[in-house]
Amino acid sequence: MARKTNKSAVSPLGRVLGILVFLVLLFVGAAGTWFWGYANTPLAVNTPTEFILEPGSFSKSAEQLQQQGIIDDARLFTLLARLEWADKRIKAGSYGLSEPTSPQQLLKKLTAGDTSMVTVKIIEGWNWRQLKTELAANPDLKHDATGLSDADLSTALQLPISSVEGQFFPDTYYISKGGSELQLLARAHRLMSKKLEIAWALRYSGTPLKDPQEALILASLVEKETGKPSDRPMIAGVFINRLKMGMRLQTDPSVIYGLGERYDGNLHRVDLETDTPYNTYTRTGLTPTPIAFVGEAALKAAVQPAQTHALYFVARGDGSSQFSGSLAEHNMAVRKYQLGK
């Protein structure tokens, strides 16, 4: 008698495939649930916080965000962006997070270009009067610094001297709209203090400069006298040589600074002969304070000047300077480059 076949029976291979499909679906479901949780869980970053997104590919942007501590994993954030077709739509800029934000909310912010920051630039060679004017004219800042006297502002920021001149590092700063001028300037001063500390630690032995503030003053004179960046070390070398010899520095920018708003764009003989604390034609030594904001190059030149015997320099007319070791050589250079003889 023939045996009947059970057509409903499942083969062992079929059972294995069924189990595999079930496990794959289970894994995909679990992964999807986990990824959904990642996308909607607030990021582990303290708020409020500020960050900058520079132009570039999304993967580069994600790396920037990770480096700035905004996200934990650039690869996961990139995957989320690609799944939502957002990786081609993000906008560079300066951003701020005022409350806990999930990766998905952050992505929406970046694609909307929801920047909430103000950009403030402090320029090398500017003085405090110029920066103060710029800050006061910015409608997006809280004006709690520009209304103070220089002495009160110095006290509020706990500066090492009573003057604010030269105490802020030239850079681009980002601050929330409505942000405090005092907070901005405090950041710029902390950065200057750090740069100055590093420069002072690398100073050449035998320098006549007594402390970091004197280095900052000299750097500001170098900054204002330099037309060609590569001349900075030589200009600093001339000033250092003069300081060692007790010669007056005789630098026009310090006289101009001392004139303040009385300077009309031309420096007259009477200006050089009228004594002020900043007239380096009538007074020996450094000026009482810096006369401008300085960058790293000027700081380095002040503490690591060129080893030279030069005591004079004159502008060639192309931005560079001609350096001389004697007054006779200098007078010849003046006749050639200034008088055209």
Domain boundaries, the chain: 49-112, 121-197, 204-337
Mean pLDDT of 315-341: 87
Mean pLDDT of 152-162: 91
Q: What is the mean pLDDT of the chain?
A: 88
Mean pLDDT of 291-312: 96
How does DSSP classify residue 219? H
pLDDT band at 164 (very low <50, low <70, confident <90, very high): very high
**Strand bridging mode 321-324 / 312-315:** antiparallel
Q: Is 126 in contact with 292 (CB distance < 8 Å)? A: yes
Q: Which two tokens stand for residue 77?
A: 């954030």
pLDDT band at 84 (very low <50, low <70, confident <90, very high): confident
pLDDT band at 45 (very low <50, low <70, confident <90, very high): confident
d(Cα 341, Cα 338) in Å, to the nearest integer? 8
Q: Is 38 in contact with 106 (CB distance < 8 Å)? A: no
User: Around Cβ 158, how many Cβ atoms within 10 Å?
Assistant: 8
pLDDT of amino acid 8:
53
Mean pLDDT of 99-118: 83
d(Cα 272, Cα 255) in Å, to the nearest integer? 7
Q: Which two tokens stand for residue 256?
A: 């101009």
Which CA distances in Å does 308 have to 113, 239, 278, 305, 324? 53, 11, 26, 9, 10
Return the percentage of the chain with pLDDT > 70, whole number: 94
What's the CATH code, domain 49-112? 3.30.1490.480
Q: Which residue has the higher pLDDT, 160 or 243?
A: 243
Is the confidence at residue 115, as pLDDT, over 90?
no
Is the confidence at residue 276, as pLDDT, over 90?
yes
pTM (2 decimals)?
0.70
pLDDT band at 1 (very low <50, low <70, confident <90, very high): very low
| Torsion region of 56: left, alpha or beta (phi above 0 gives left; psi -120 to 50 gives alpha) | left
Is the confidence at residue 148, as pLDDT, over 60?
yes
Mean pLDDT of 199-222: 96
Mean pLDDT of 123-139: 95
Q: Which residue has the higher pLDDT, 30 or 4?
A: 30
